[in-house]
Structure 1
Amino acid sequence: MEPVILRTERLELSLPVEADVDAIYAACQDPGIQRYTPVPFPYERTHADGFVRQIPKDWEAGQNLTWGIHEAGALVGTIGVYRVDGMGNGELGYWVAPEARGGGRLVEAAHAVIDWAFSPDGLGLTRMEWRAVVGNVASARAASRLGFRYEGLLRQALANTKHRDDGWIAALLVTDDRMPQPWPVLED
């Protein structure tokens, strides 16, 4: 699959490139990103280099599709559709650098990715999942604003190099209205 560039009013979603390595490395020093995402720990600059080199290969395979979230040319996060199975399913995943959090960038980027992933001209997905470590309230709030429906708890299902955790799972179907959803695990 060829990489796709997506644009919103203020963001460009495109493959991270070598010039983004320093920004990726810096963002992945954040304790929240290290705690709640599957990045290696400790996160070294070589990990960022390898990540950027792997992304075009993943696009070619069509299973893990990552974009860099760029604002005014600077990388402020990453977002992707992962575990694309060829049967209409995928999983939304993301992180945003600490200095870029707030201001709706993530939700703006996610709308563009979801629109493309559900489109027949994109992936043509039927179902998109979202998963997060229990306690990652910021990610859960974003997913609920995007219209994901909370589906439950995955016991000890999420693991990274440092932790094995219970996870929240939610999903969005192509037929869902994408209106913000109340979740029983969030205090609204």
Structure 2
Amino acid sequence: MYEHTLTDGTLWLTRPTGADIDRIVECCQDPDVQRWTTIPVPYQRGDAEDFLDRVVAPSWADNTPVWAIRTVEGGQVDGMIALHARGPGTCEIGFWLTPDHRGRGLMSRAIALVCEFGFAPDGLALERITWRAIVGNHPSAGAVRRNGFHYEGLGRSAGIQRGERVDEWFAARLRTDPAEPTTWPS
């Protein structure tokens, strides 16, 4: 896949590069990024280098891109968002954002850009985008809910985070679903 920048004029989603390594390491020190993701803890420079070599590079080659979220064109990394292959016509969305950018609707905007590209016939032409998160990650759930994802259930001990079993929430959006907020169980 060719590198494809996504933007709405407020956010720029671009491929992370070696120039971003120090910033990625800095961002991954955030306790919430560590709490809700499966990144290694402690997170060190070698982890960021491995991420670029073993996750980012192959993802673009396999049409499942990883984007750095930037709030200034050509600016520093303020988060990550990615689509991971989960079978024919299906990808799973995953993301994180730095603390100073949370609560401003930026992740909802990034998800909207990625879903638009993912479902577009001249993008990835996906039929379904799934999401999962460790139970309790309400900000992540809110961001996908605002983008038309439908709650699909709870998976007891469905995930593993640093060797421990965790319960997970599941949701998905179909290509035919409108990008409008959905109602989830409390």
Q: With the length of structure 2 as denominator, give the TM-score of the two structures.
A: 0.93
Q: For residue 70 of structure 1, what is the aligned residue in structure 2?
A: 70
Q: For residue 103 of structure 1, what is the aligned residue in structure 2?
A: 104
Q: Separation in 1 of the partners of 2:164 and 2:71?
A: 32
Q: For residue 184 of structure 1, what is the aligned residue in structure 2?
A: 185
What does 1:32-181 align with in structure 2 at a 5 Å threshold?
32-54=32-54, 55-62=56-63, 64-72=64-72, 73-85=75-87, 87-181=88-182
How far off is 1:161 after superposition? Answer: 1.6
Q: Separation in 2 of the partners of 1:96 and 1:48?
A: 16
How far off is 1:162 after superposition? Answer: 4.5
Q: For residue 27 of structure 1, what is the aligned residue in structure 2?
A: 27
**Where do 4+ consecutive residues of structure 1 move more than 2 Å?**
none
Count of residues paired in the alignment? 183
Please report the RMSD computed on the Cα atoms of aligned residues, expressed in angstroms. 1.3
Q: Separation in 2 of the partners of 1:38 and 1:8?
A: 29
Change (3 A) 1:183 1:75: same
Q: Separation in 2 of the partners of 1:181 and 1:12?
A: 26
Q: Write the deviation string for residues 83-139 of structure 1: whole angstroms up to 9, x where unpaired.
A: 243x11111110001122121111111111000000111111111101000000110
Q: For residue 13 of structure 2, what is the aligned residue in structure 1?
A: 13
Q: Which runs of 5+ in 2 are unaligned?
A: none
The residue type equivalent to 1:49 in the other structure is E
How far off is 1:155 after superposition? Answer: 1.3
SS in 1 for 2:129: strand
Q: With the length of structure 1 as denominator, give the TM-score of the two structures.
A: 0.92
How far off is 1:24 after superposition? Answer: 1.0
Q: Separation in 1 of the partners of 2:159 and 2:179?
A: 26
Moved more, 160-169 or 128-137: 160-169
Q: Separation in 2 of the partners of 1:162 and 1:141?
A: 27
Q: Write the deviation string for residues 6-42 of structure 1: whole angstroms up to 9, x where unpaired.
A: 1112111111112211221111111111111111122
The residue type equivalent to 2:15 in the other structure is L
Q: Separation in 1 of the partners of 2:35 and 2:10?
A: 29
Q: Which runs of 5+ in 1 are unaligned?
A: none
How far off is 1:45 after superposition? Answer: 1.6
Aligned residues of 1:3 and 1:56 also touching (Cα < 8 A) = no
